[in-house]
A and B are shown apart, each in its own frame.
Chain A
Amino acid sequence: MKMTRTLLACLALAVGPGCMKKSGESAAPSYAGGDMAMEGGNVLYDFDESVAEEADYGGGEREMAPAPPMEPEAEPSMGVKAKRLDDDRGIAPGAAKPAPAKNAAGSGPEAKPADEHKPPEKATRQIIYTAELRLSVFKVNEVMAEIESLALAVDGYVQQMREGYYVLRIPAASLRDVMDGVSGLGMVTQRSLQARDVTEEFVDLTTRIRVLRDTQNQLLELLKRAKTVEEALHVRQALDTVTMELEQALGRLRMLENLIGFSTLTVYVDERGPQNDIPSSNDPFPWVDSLGVEATEWN
């Protein structure tokens, strides 16, 4: 009993900083649904990844479409390799990898702390690309349809759409191609591209998840060894805290992966007519732009 309490205290210390850091960031997860059951005095905890898969990202305003499977070696278009760290992390938010809990590197109870805090050696730049294009076209509807086709052709998807406005999620490796394709559909009046380096946050999250998984496994071992209900309850409390932290980290990591793997391309499509100023010409006398059928007849 005394030994168990000492172990719990140690674990609480190990987990504590993580709990303090993220406390209040999201509601405690609900375990209703048969994740936990008592069998012969032992608590069986189901740490199926589905709990993490269904976790809310915390970004309420985001309209996330179901993330399509991502290629393991996604190479962003801007020449910076964003090598995924799935192998190191042992998690697969995009469902393209095996279940994380079972493949987590160093996740066994025997894992040494020195290994836990070892930074991933394969860490390369993790970059989120956000681009904008504004087009001036004659046939808005046709161009809108073509833009959507371009996105779907590279396994991208439409995140938001309204008349003359698209928010597309494009696989990072195809962003440049899609931008070139969209640019060819009309006259580009505005173009921008932003890159946000999230390598540090990515590596931090990865490390944190690994530590939390190790802790979770150790707690599970403790739970199996619990002799009394009181001991089991104590361990379970700690386990709940660790699980919550793990889910939060997994959710954040999954969101980051989605943003890295799928660049956001916003396209504005303006209808072009004789009244529009097209800033592509240095003609000092654009007076003829205001002449024509559209400016004269009545519809």
Chain B
Amino acid sequence: MVARTTTSLKLALLGALVLGAGCSRYKLEPPEGFVEVHAYSSEARMKARDNVGLNLRVFRNVRGGSLGYWGADIVEKLGQRGYALVGQEAARSRNGVVGTRFDFDYTPPNSDTAKFFTAVLFVTDEYKFVLQVAGDKVHSAKYRGRIDEIVGDLKVRGCKPLSRICKGPQPDRFAIAPPSPSPAAEGRDVPTAAANAGAATQPAAASAPTHDAPAGAPAGAEPPANGG
């Protein structure tokens, strides 16, 4: 009788642990060189000594929201803000969810300091996760080379059994901005990443008029300063 009770208690404890772990939307330990500034259920922020920041944001997903849809949304809207897409490739979380990594170059309007910005998007049935790493461009090689390592340590939740969202396809390839010289200097009208979002078959991009995106954008193109 006593043994039976003990077993029940152990099972209950185990169940509570499993449930408790399941309540957390993500799990991310500070990568080496980063310290945690704060961590909430919807956001975690970390920083390195050279002021490179790591930010994980969690947003609720909606029905129909897929990796392709939200990937196009990110590229289009960041493109409107002056972010130049320089790389796009698949990523995989520690618990096997497939996402997409987008590397951007960016110079803020009120500054002459070039920045690097990498966003890794994961979409599950319940949430969408964006892991962002940003800082001065001079640090891009060092940190972009560690993105796979950082993402490989991230666990994201929200996948339903036999989910089509979590196992959905990668977004279409978006136009990669040439690193140098700039399109304007070459005197040709290179479609922006935002415009080329229209080439995707996602609903959000349907309104974009441009459909002549260079579909031959290098598959799995490495960002110029990736270093790894």
Which residues from 175 to 233 on chain A have a C-beta closer than 8 Å to any C-beta of chain B?
Answer: none
Instruction: Mark each residue of chain B from 96 to 136: 1 if its CB lies under 8 Å from any CB of chain A, else 0.
Output: 00000000001011100001010100000000101011111
Do B73 and A293 touch across chains, with their CB atoms under 8 A apart?
Answer: no
Which residues from 154 to 202 on chain B have a C-beta closer than 8 Å to any C-beta of chain A?
Answer: none
Nearest Cβ on chain A to B172's Cβ, whole angstroms: 18
Do A298 and B53 touch across chains, with their CB atoms under 8 A apart?
Answer: yes
Do A296 and B106 touch across chains, with their CB atoms under 8 A apart?
Answer: no
Contacts of A28 in B (CB 8 A): none
CA distance A293 to B134 in the complex (A): 5
Contacts of B115 in A (CB 8 A): 293, 297
Do A288 and B73 touch across chains, with their CB atoms under 8 A apart?
Answer: yes
Whether B54 sits at the interface, judged by CB under 8 Å, is: yes
Nearest Cβ on chain B to A32's Cβ, whole angstroms: 56
Whether A16 sits at the interface, judged by CB under 8 Å, is: no
Do B81 and A274 touch across chains, with their CB atoms under 8 A apart?
Answer: yes
From B77, B78, B110, A139 is in contact (CB under 8 Å) with B110
CA distance A140 to B110 in the complex (A): 9
Do B55 and A296 touch across chains, with their CB atoms under 8 A apart?
Answer: yes
Do B78 and A296 touch across chains, with their CB atoms under 8 A apart?
Answer: no
Whether A95 sits at the interface, judged by CB under 8 Å, is: no
Contacts of A294 in B (CB 8 A): 108
Whether B144 sits at the interface, judged by CB under 8 Å, is: no
Whether B25 sits at the interface, judged by CB under 8 Å, is: no
Whether A291 sits at the interface, judged by CB under 8 Å, is: yes
Contacts of B108 in A (CB 8 A): 293-294
CA distance A288 to B79 in the complex (A): 11
Contacts of A292 in B (CB 8 A): 78, 81, 83, 106, 117, 132, 134
Do A297 and B73 touch across chains, with their CB atoms under 8 A apart?
Answer: no
Nearest Cβ on chain B to A209's Cβ, whole angstroms: 53
Residue of A nearest to B37 (CB): A298
Do A296 and B51 touch across chains, with their CB atoms under 8 A apart?
Answer: no
Nearest Cβ on chain B to A261's Cβ, whole angstroms: 37
Whether B52 sits at the interface, judged by CB under 8 Å, is: yes
Do A298 and B132 touch across chains, with their CB atoms under 8 A apart?
Answer: no
Contacts of B74 in A (CB 8 A): 288, 291
A-B contact pairs, 9 of them (CB 8 A): A140-B110, A285-B73, A288-B78, A291-B132, A293-B108, A296-B132, A297-B52, A298-B47, A298-B53
Sorted from nearest, which 8 A-B pairs have the closest CB atoms? Answer: A296-B134, A288-B77, A138-B109, A296-B53, A297-B53, A296-B55, A298-B51, A297-B134
Binding site for A on B (CB under 8 A): 47, 51-55, 57, 59, 62, 73-74, 77-78, 81, 83, 106, 108-110, 115, 117, 119, 128, 130, 132-136
Beyond A288-B73, A288-B74, A291-B132: 18 further Cβ-contacts under 8 Å?
Answer: A138-B110, A139-B109, A285-B62, A287-B73, A291-B78, A291-B130, A292-B78, A292-B117, A293-B106, A293-B108, A293-B134, A295-B55, A296-B117, A296-B134, A297-B136, A298-B51, A298-B53, A299-B51
Binding site for B on A (CB under 8 A): 138-140, 274, 285, 287-299
